[in-house]
Amino acid sequence: MPQITPKTTPIYQTSVFTFEDLNALELYFSEPGKSYMYTRYGNPNTEELAQEINKLEGGAGAVVTSSGMSGILAAVLSICKAGDHILCAEEIYGGSSTLLSQELTRLGIEVTYVPTADTYTLSSYVKPTTRLLLAETMSNPLLLVLDIEKLAKETRAHNIKLVIDNTFATPVLTKPLALGADMVIHSITKYISGHSDVTAGVVICKQSEDLQRVQKVMMVLGLNLSPFEGWLAVRGLKTLRLRMKQHSSNALEIASYLQQHPKVEKVWYPGLSAHPQHELAKQQGNGMFGGMLSFKIKDDTEAVNRFMQGLQHIPFAPSLAGVSTSISYPMGTSHRSLTPEQQQSMGITTGVIRLSVGIEEPEELLADLEQALAQV
């Protein structure tokens, strides 16, 4: 029978792998990565995904996990233990904030949020027990763009790790490791997979010692990704570059339209020249600005409801980055767990709507937005 060589990696939908004898078992332990034993420890599908993402980010290696949240958990626990201290950017995804403030504090890890104005001057926040700073390339949902190179110099000066969530930008726009970050996190669920049918995460490390620690945390805590999810994500990853170009192009056109609309009070999108970090975003994003934007209509719940009900093709879906456009409501979803004071200080008010721009024809999206805004 002729040898069959598949062009696409098959799905290794198995929880365990077999060994021929004791010699094969010893080979597994003496030459890590040469074979597989148990899918929680590793699987060809998840390994392929990790390797492909690592190539894009330019790290020493990557570890894929069961979700973006478990990726953040693995990264933090690879560095921190009870008694340690974490810094976190004030403008961060609400789920990340909940993990740090409500769960990791229960494990004895202290958390301090750094106000946006103090992002690059950490002296008054760093303690002898501070181990890392967590921040996002572009913040969720108001698209504050981080100067990663500048922040990396500051964290190095204080001998703490810089962990960057690069989900919004993707490595197509920005490669944080090349700019000085120590670890990069992605919710693969979003742009890397791209089709709203996978839940996964990844941690990419600059140093091999960090990589080994993340790998250990993933294995011991059981944060592993399933083979099928890994296979689906690899399939999605193959079109990432093409998708990001269309996401970015569409988002710029829609942001420009919303900016001049009489029913829209404000638009947050780094591609607009009025954005405070526009030049930084252009330089750090290779001339692209991503597919995420937020805008504000009047601060009235009924007005927001009328807008959402008026949309005929764009669904209200509390996630992001799929090939199909969707809207979300930060105050009621991603940032729901924050106090009203925290929401207010971040600028997340009743009228703020987040738009995840897909890869459809922009004319279709503009027409849907136009008739929905007419209802406000």
Per-residue model confidence as pLDDT tens digits over 49-80 = 999 999 999 999 999 999 999 999 999 999 99
Task: Indicate the CATH number for domain 240-373.
Answer: 3.90.1150.10
Q: How far apart are CA 255 and CA 355, in angstroms?
A: 10
Q: Does 86 have pLDDT greater than 90?
A: yes
pTM (2 d.p.): 0.95
Grade residue 346 by pLDDT with cuts at 50, 70 and 90.
confident
Q: Which two tokens stand for residue 294?
A: 């937020």
Q: Does 333 have pLDDT greater than 90?
A: no
| CATH C-level class of 22-237 | alpha beta
The CATH 3.90.1150.10 domain(s) of the chain lie at 240-373
The CATH 3.40.640.10 domain(s) of the chain lie at 22-237
> Cα dihedral sign for 8, 13, 16, 20?
negative
Q: Are 22 and 201 in contact (CB under 8 A)?
A: no
Query: From the CB of residue 312, how many other CB atoms can be counted at a distance below 10 Å?
Result: 10
Buried b (16+ CB within 10 A) or exposed e, 68-101: bbbbbbbbbbbbbeeebbbbbbbbbbbbbbbbbe
Q: Which two tokens stand for residue 70?
A: 């478990």
Grade residue 170 by pLDDT with cuts at 50, 70 and 90.
very high
Q: Does 1 have pLDDT greater than 70?
A: no
Catalytic residues: 40, 93, 165, 190
